[in-house]
A and B are shown apart, each in its own frame.
Chain A
Amino acid sequence: MGAVRQKPGVLVIGLDGLPFTLARQLIAGGYAPALARLAAEGRLQQMDSVVPTVSAVAWTSFLTGVQPGKHGLYGFVFRNPAGYDIEVCSTRVIRRKLLPELVSDAGRTAFSMNVPVTSPPRPVNGIMIGCFLSPDLEKAAWPAEEAAYLRSVGYRIDTDAALARRSTAGMLEDVRRTTERRVTAALHYLAARPWDYFHVHIMETDRLNHFLLGRALAGGGFAADFFDCCRYIDGQVARLLDAVAEDTPLLVVSDHGFEPIRQEAQLGRWLVERGWTVLGGGPVRSPLDFDPSRTRAYALIPGRIYVNLRGREPGGIVAPEEYEAVREAVTRDLLDLRDAAAGAPVIRRVLRREEFLWPAGRLGPCPDMPLRDRLFGDPVYALAPDLVAEPCPGYDLKMGLAKQALFEKTELEGMHTRDDAMLLVRGMAAPAGRASILDCAPMILGRLGIAAADMDGGAEGAA
């Protein structure tokens, strides 16, 4: 006897870090029958992510519909503006409303589970279960009472990353169990009441790629495990699809692609070697534990460079008049970085902040602002990196202030790519040309008949 099918206004399933090219491979290889079905009914296309390309930033751009320069979240970590302490990102730094809030404001119901960055959760006309950055269930749920239900079904906020480094078999089991419980909880909520916007995020694909991609592509024992796990996750997606009406408008989307890591490149260490960052002597306790009185530029992951600017950084020493010159000199040094052993350059290009916060073309040229305003104006802008380095394929940019060597290989096997995210749309008008993750929010709101104000994506000329 078939179960009742729900009819959410829009269903969104996030598959973190699933590359478009890999999705096609999985479909072709028969490892993703649910995705295959959807691709046939709708449209599967490649999609561009944002700069810097990391989940926290990309999903926040997905949820807000704007470039990082407008929402204020530039990475998983940031420098507390009052000093040189490093802090983990949260909804507190996001200066815009998130999709579920916009939906709520329009008087409609919204459900969001595990989407980065939604911790701490914000109040919505519905339920928000925060993302993997939540320290515990009580802090993850809005309303907080939902924590009790989640606990009762053994919901897991996240897989254990430390385990993943130690044991591949352990990780695989962890991925399966966590995904299964997450979808079970999601189904419970799906049936609980009618939803206009229903969004479940599966993080586990990202973990798989981070820790197993290299071996998967190389073939051999673990390759089979990798693809089996993908098949398992596709099965979980199928559970969600089977619970909704067949014509439900939906999106299956990822935030970036993946490629194998050749080396981890420590930009923090490089800046020290080139004299931009000066250490204080004594043990390095954090990525920002340098001597600000002698540091002119410092790095944050991934590939973000900040000038230690007087009037912005509390211990800043670079005068605003020297800002451009410092940027130029650091850019030259970044492009100089080479993997001597492989005889290869590491940095493909270095973007200045105004280039990627307002890239020309799609979103118009950079507004011509006086330097003072660009640097010191809005706090959102003030936390933006001054430069972002984009790596050559295979070089994962890290910080490594305390590292002794520039290059390192760890248990991580996969790194992010910007131009290979995946967008699968059914029942909605998909972007005609090249898609960007910024197009998603206007598309969803458009489908729900809610006006999208002041967003960076969407079809040219569309409302």
Chain B
Amino acid sequence: MDRLDELESKSIYIIREAYAQCRKLALLWSIGKDSSTLLWLARKAFLGQLPFPVLHIDTGRKFRAMIEFRDARAREFGLRLIVARNDEALAGAEPGKPLAGGGKLDCCTALKTQALQQAIARHGLKALLLGIRRDEHGIRAKERYFSPRDENFQWNYKNQPPELWDQYRSRSEEGSHMRIHPLLHWSELDIWRYVRRENIPTVPLYFARNGKRYRSIGCECCCAPIDSAADTLDAVIRELETTTTSERAGRAQDKENAYTMQKLRALGYM
């Protein structure tokens, strides 16, 4: 088993644990690369037939390519797709822009968080699978595989139940839900490598067009692309392998570098 196999197996284990402990489960799918990988792993866990629905929070501002992609995959994978929207908030809103009258956080709260709360209540969901990774953001690094949220979706990081070995706790108080994060131990590069290995369909926005690509996708009005020539999966992986500026890997590469340095020195370029 190589590294990707290990990551995969652990994630499948966690997904199955989540379902074993809580049947009223749903998978939160943002159509991005991480949750699409999560969806793929869930399909593997349940041998092709998800016994629970997939939930997409539609803010009305997602890239059109994402919506088309979503519907195509839902058909292809036979998913039970629930699309949640905060129709009330969207009613008076200007299309293509964040909601007026507040900051970005308020817009996210109204269009995303509230829509999610409504969906959980409407479908009686007790637990959600999310594609969050530890290496994404400082605070995420503190997340657990099984993380309880209370009524206000607050997360009390101080009082986290310990996760010992593979004993994942999932039951929670009435009126709140449990969040499960089977991808915590995956890095961004792991995700892309896995996408490549498995040929997981991904939204083309991640690949460069006209010198730009999106590193993460969400609402079109708040997402900015980065400069990049990487227009294929291989190119993106290559770019990530080198731009994360980690130490040069391996003695073999050090030797090569030394050789080339010598050459440049002899040529007077050093």
Contact = CB atoms under 8 A, between A and B. Distances in A.
B269 A77 contact: yes
Contact of B264 (A88, A97, A410): A88
Interface in A255-302: 264, 287, 301
A135 B245 CA distance: 21
B259 A135 contact: yes
A136 to B, nearest CB: 8
A16 to B, nearest CB: 12
Contact of B227 (A87, A378, A399): A378
Given A87-B257, A453-B210, A410 B268 contact: yes
B65 interface: no
Given A82-B245, A92-B238, A95-B227, A210 B257 contact: no
B243 interface: yes
B211 A210 contact: no
Interface string A86-125: 1110001111110000000000000000000000000100
Query: Which one of A82, A92, A161, A264 has the highest number of Cβ atoms from chain B below 10 Å of its Cβ?
Result: A161
A158 interface: yes
B270 A287 contact: yes
Contacts of A80: 245
A82 B246 contact: yes
Contacts of B243: 379
Main secondary structure of the interface of A (DSSP, over half): loop
Nearest to A139: B256
Nearest to A71: B229
B117 interface: no
Interface string B247-270: 110000000110111111011111
Contacts of A88: 257, 260-261, 264
A339 B267 CA distance: 23
A161 B266 CA distance: 6
Given A88-B261, A95-B227, A132-B263, A412 B268 contact: yes
A87 B243 CA distance: 13
A77 B270 contact: yes
Nearest to A157: B263
Contacts of B227: 95, 378, 380
Contacts of B238: 92
Nearest to A56: B269
B242 A92 contact: yes
A409 B227 CA distance: 42
Contacts of A139: 256
A348 interface: no
Interface string B149-164: 0000000000000000
B9 interface: no
B228 interface: yes
A251 B234 CA distance: 32
A164 interface: yes
Interface in A371-429: 378-380, 396, 398-399, 410, 412
A298 to B, nearest CB: 15
Contacts of B248: 87
A95 B226 CA distance: 11
A139 to B, nearest CB: 8
A135 B264 CA distance: 12
Interface string B204-223: 00000011000000000000
A189 interface: no
Nearest to B241: A92
Given A158-B263, A161-B263, A379-B243, A301 B269 contact: yes
Contact of B229 (A54, A95, A158, A287): A95
Nearest to A133: B260
A95 B263 CA distance: 25
A399 B263 contact: no
Interface in A140-188: 158, 161-162, 164-165
8 cross-chain pairs, A with B, having the tightest CB-CB distances, nearest first: A161-B266, A82-B245, A135-B256, A92-B242, A76-B269, A88-B260, A162-B266, A161-B267
Interface of A: 54, 76-77, 80-82, 86-88, 92-97, 123, 132-133, 135, 139, 158, 161-162, 164-165, 207, 210, 264, 287, 301, 378-380, 396, 398-399, 410, 412, 453-454
23 contacts: A76-B264, A76-B269, A76-B270, A77-B269, A80-B245, A82-B247, A92-B242, A93-B242, A96-B211, A123-B234, A132-B263, A133-B263, A135-B259, A139-B256, A158-B263, A161-B267, A162-B262, A210-B268, A264-B268, A301-B270, A453-B210, A453-B211, A454-B211
